[in-house]
Amino acid sequence: MAPQYKLTYFDFPGIAETCRYLFSYGGIEFEDVRIKRENWAQLKDKTPFGVLPTLEHNGKVVGQSLAINRYLAKKVKLAGDNEWENLEVDATADTLNDIRLKIIPVFMEQDDAKKKALLETVKKDTFGYYLPRLEAQVQKNKGHLALGRLTWADFYFATLSPVFDLLTGEDVLASYPNLKGVREKVNALPAIKKWLESRPKSGH
């Protein structure tokens, strides 16, 4: 039987990787469609709002990675058990997404001098602000980002945080052992470890 889900994104981890982690964790078979950047222009208008990833199921297509993550997390029991718990997990995930949005301009900047200045701002004002607070949050939540247990917010951090090192050329989490522990625990899960060993080799 063909997979019931088709996930479409570019040929690298990026913001679709949390979705892939969730599918893998839940043992849900999915079609992992990866497109080349040079083919994106001709495919863009075929997506609901001109963005990737998209998830297709039963002939319906939706976009927005966070919405897809929330949907999949509920299916694989990595969401909250009630509305308030979902709020806590979502608030943490949205905070991680705030970090992601703040670092994108560094990758996009072509001028070396401007890029260097943006990077220093990210290191000081973004990492310097958010990471100590998230580190404390993990300490309060028994080694996790929310609810004192494994949730999809941990998965999001595990897939997002390698970009910090890629951006800076440094081990950004070296001073944040609790956060580093979150990533290590997620990546050590048998289903995730299997995914990491078998996924297509590509950069971020």
CATH assignment of the domain containing 115: 1.20.1050.10
- Per-residue pLDDT tens digits for 153-169: 999 999 999 999 999 99
Do 49 and 123 lie in a common domain? Answer: no
Predicted local distance difference test score (pLDDT) of residue 184: 98
Do 13 and 90 lie in a common domain? Answer: no
Question: What is the separation of C-alpha 147 from the centre of its chain, rounded to a whole number of angstroms?
Answer: 19
Q: Domain range holding 62?
A: 5-76+190-198
Reduced to 3 states (helix: H, G, I; strand: E, B; else coil), residue 34 is: strand
**Is 72 inside any structural domain?**
yes
List the structure tokens of 61: 């297509």
The CATH number of residue 67's host domain is: 3.40.30.10
- Per-residue pLDDT tens digits for 107-118: 999 999 999 999
Predicted local distance difference test score (pLDDT) of residue 3: 76
Give the span between the Cα atoms of 6 and 29, in whole angstroms: 9
**Is 147 inside any structural domain?**
yes
Do 69 and 87 lie in a common domain? Answer: no
Do 95 and 174 lie in a common domain? Answer: yes
Do 21 and 31 lie in a common domain? Answer: yes
Q: What is the phi-psi region of residue 58: left when phi exceeds 0, alpha when psi lies from -120 to 50, beta otherwise?
A: left
27 with 75: CB under 8 angstroms?
no
Q: Tens of pLDDT along the chain (204 residues)?
A: 567 999 999 999 999 999 999 999 999 999 999 999 899 999 999 999 999 999 999 999 999 999 999 999 999 999 999 999 999 999 999 999 999 999 999 999 999 999 999 999 999 999 999 999 999 999 999 999 999 999 999 999 999 999 999 999 999 999 999 999 999 999 999 999 999 999 988 755
Do 171 and 123 lie in a common domain? Answer: yes
Residue 53: what residue type?
P
**Is 204 inside any structural domain?**
no
Give the span between the Cα atoms of 51 and 150, in whole angstroms: 29
Predicted local distance difference test score (pLDDT) of residue 203: 57
Predicted local distance difference test score (pLDDT) of residue 57: 96
Domains contained in the chain, number:
2
Give the span between the Cα atoms of 159 and 155, in whole angstroms: 6
**Is 203 inside any structural domain?**
no
